[in-house]
A and B are shown apart, each in its own frame.
Chain A
Amino acid sequence: MTTAAKVAGVLLLAVVATSLAAGLLSPVSYETQFRESPNAPPCRQFPLGTDELGRDRLARLLYGSRVSLLLAPAAAGLSVALSALIGITAGYAGGWVERATMAAADLFVSLPWLFLLLTVRALIPLNVTPWASILITFLLLGVLSWAPGARVIRSGASALKRSEFALLARASGCPKPRLLWKHILPNLRPLMAAQFWIAIPVFILSEANLGMLGLGIAEPLPSWGGLLGELQDPGRIAGNPALLAPAVLLTVFLSCFQSVFSKEDK
């Protein structure tokens, strides 16, 4: 691991640890309103200032990081589980099941991801509770992203099914479910892990996109996407550069993530 990757790893850990310890680090809650000081500039009490409802931006950034950083891996886990289920079924069954599944996957992959995400989200009611909005975002990200992973895993499962060791397992009397569980699945684990790590930054960005457009996590719960929504008015940035904090944090996090995991892959 290079020095740059090590530094990136330390920064990543710091962001994750800080967001997990949001309750300890921030004296106030993300929803506490200081009505006497709305839109306050950075000061000793509010290092990143306050928003128009008088809520501490630092507290919202810390709690928002926690939401985004927990949501993305959870959705990536759901996505990989779904991809594995569909990909392994298709690869193992073969024949028309495989052809039909891969045709559906090709169709999904050919649709623009963000457009699909926004369209489906727009079809679901927006006036839901914050926790329901987290669940909707989690399900949308996890379910709509099954296709690329399923194609990769199907290809791996199909090759493993035809492998010499799978043939020998059949010749030894191994039942088909056990063949799948003990011989195919353990060899697909690296592929599934790669799909998981690839999905995390994609989902962080997708959540940010949804949030910026008001289609993500509902208020008052903060997330990186929701906090980036404040950047829609460029005139305010000049007056308060602290508004850029979520964008900077997002950029730093994704850069560090890519740096650490692309180096790991090599």
Chain B
Amino acid sequence: MLETVRNDFGPLLSVSLSASYPDRPDVLQGVQFDVQPGEILALVGQSGCGKSTIALCILKLLGVKGGKARGAIRFQGRDLEWATEREMRAIRGREIAMVPQSPLSSLNPALRIGAQLKEAWRAHAEGEWEAAKPRILQLLESVDLPCDEGFLRRVPSQISVGQAQRVLIAMAVIHRPRLLIADEPTSALDLITQREVLDLFARLNRELNMAILYISHDLLSVAALCHRAAVLERGRIVECGGAEQIFERPAHPYTRRLIDALPRVRQPSGIGQTF
């Protein structure tokens, strides 16, 4: 069972960012938003609008992709801009964790599932893995994964995409971070698995009071999960507000276009109805 604990005051994360890649200047232009403790904030926009760049900027890993970021990121009142690599390493995975977009390619093909979990655990924990194992098995059970030794011995090619995504979620919450960045976590999943993963995020948010920055182009999943949403267009936030307000009364034309683009069920009369 996952444990509930933390409550804080003030924004957990405040972001004011611009970023660029050598071949894509101004990929983010003065993006500003806050994430409150225990809140699920959605970052919505089309592919290539800079959503995933924000995730990398927050973790100060944009350099891995060759990009550069300018601006301020405050996490729990602390400016991450001046944090050293050593300090960031202590934050990554323990305070801010990430669930990536592609489940199977985000797991090391050469390592067994147990070894991958062990690596995630070991990054911020001391002591014997064997002693921590019962808690890890409990964690697997809480994310609806088989909690037996046989599963831990499998390699990524022997599990399904849905299971891989759950393993990644388990790895992300292993140290009970304050903020979980979920970067398009359902885009590779079928509809039923998507729903299960969304339910899992909602449960983690409820039971661990874990704030979630939910990055997605899937408006339906945003509507089902998030408290607030920020709409991103070509590196700028064009609208930000309560999820209900965004969907019922979109103020910006781009937001209206996104909502109008949702698939509709064709009725016998020929009039479409949005899901």
Residues of A within 8 A of B (CB): 162-165, 167-175, 178, 182-183, 186-187, 189
Contact = CB atoms under 8 A, between A and B. Distances in A.
20 contacts: A162-B64, A163-B105, A164-B100, A164-B106, A165-B106, A167-B64, A167-B100, A167-B106, A168-B98, A171-B100, A172-B92, A172-B97, A172-B123, A173-B90, A175-B123, A182-B111, A182-B119, A183-B110, A186-B110, A187-B110
Contact of A165 (B59, B93, B105): B105
B237 interface: no
Interface string B98-134: 1010100111111100010001100110000000000
Contacts of A162: 64-65
Nearest to A168: B106
A186 B120 CA distance: 17
B64 A173 contact: no
A176 to B, nearest CB: 9
Interface of B: 59, 61, 64-65, 89-94, 97-98, 100, 102, 105-111, 115, 119-120, 123-124, 168, 171-172
Contacts of A178: 119, 123
B207 to A, nearest CB: 21
Contacts of B65: 162
A165 B119 CA distance: 12
A189 B109 CA distance: 12
Contacts of A168: 98, 100, 106, 168, 171
| 4 smallest beta-carbon distances between A and B, as pairs | A173-B93, A186-B110, A172-B93, A173-B123
A162 B56 CA distance: 13
B77 to A, nearest CB: 21
A184 to B, nearest CB: 10
A169 B121 CA distance: 11
Nearest to B85: A176
Given A171-B59, A173-B93, A173-B123, A187 B98 contact: no
A194 B123 CA distance: 32
A187 B92 contact: no
Among A165, A174, A182, A183, chain B packs the most CB atoms within 10 A around the CB of A165
Given A162-B64, A164-B100, A167-B100, A172 B106 contact: no
Contacts of B109: 165, 187
B92 A171 contact: yes
A154 B6 CA distance: 45
B108 A187 contact: yes
Contacts of A169: 108, 119
Contact of A183 (B94, B108, B124): B108
A237 to B, nearest CB: 52
A172 B119 contact: yes
B122 to A, nearest CB: 8
Contacts of B108: 165, 169, 182-183, 186-187
B94 A173 contact: yes
A140 B94 CA distance: 49
A220 B113 CA distance: 55
Nearest to B118: A182
Contact of A171 (B98, B115, B124): B98
B93 A175 contact: no
Contacts of A171: 59, 61, 92-93, 97-98, 100
B106 A170 contact: no
Nearest to B89: A173
A244 B94 CA distance: 69
Nearest to B55: A171
A183 B105 CA distance: 13
B105 A170 contact: no
A172 B172 CA distance: 7
A139 to B, nearest CB: 32
